[in-house]
């Protein structure tokens, strides 16, 4: 029983959660492609998805998303892109 609990605790501590952020300054598919090529294509994330106005990233196992670094990377891409607040998933009621 102890080994089962330990395994479960390890799985919980190492599981990654995707974080979605607002990105201002994006208005077209070229913006999406630019961020994908400059950020996502570099392979720094387990998951990286860009849509107009938002970015979803998931850290690789054992890593965390450094929001300050992510904010700098987005700003450095140019075109007045700014990483905004994290978009929290809506809570559902049963």
In a domain, 45, yes or no: yes
Q: Identify the pLDDT of residue 55.
A: 96
Any residues with CB less than 8 A from the CB of 53 and at least 6 apart, and which?
22, 23, 24, 26
Residues of the chain by 3-state class (helix, strand, coil), percent to 5: 40, 20, 40
Strand partners, 58: 47
Tally of domains within the chain: 1
Digit-coded pLDDT (tens) for 24-82: 999 999 999 999 999 999 888 999 999 999 999 999 999 999 999 999 999 999 889 99
**Per-residue confidence band for 12, with pLDDT thresholds at 50, 70 and 90:** very low
Segments forming the whole domain that contains residue 23: 16-86
**Any idea what the CATH number is for the domain that residue 37 is in?**
3.30.70.100
């Amino acid at each position: 029983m102890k080994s089962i609990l330990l395994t479960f605790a390890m799985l919980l501590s190492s599981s990654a959660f995707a974080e979605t952020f607002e990105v201002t300054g994006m208005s077209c598919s070229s913006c999406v492609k630019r961020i994908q090529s400059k950020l996502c294509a570099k392979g720094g994330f387990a998951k990286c998805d860009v849509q107009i106005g938002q970015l979803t990233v998931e850290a690789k196992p054992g890593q965390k998303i450094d929001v300050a670094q992510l904010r700098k990377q987005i700003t450095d891409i140019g075109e007045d892109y700014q990483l905004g607040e994290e978009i929290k998933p809506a809570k559902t009621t049963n």
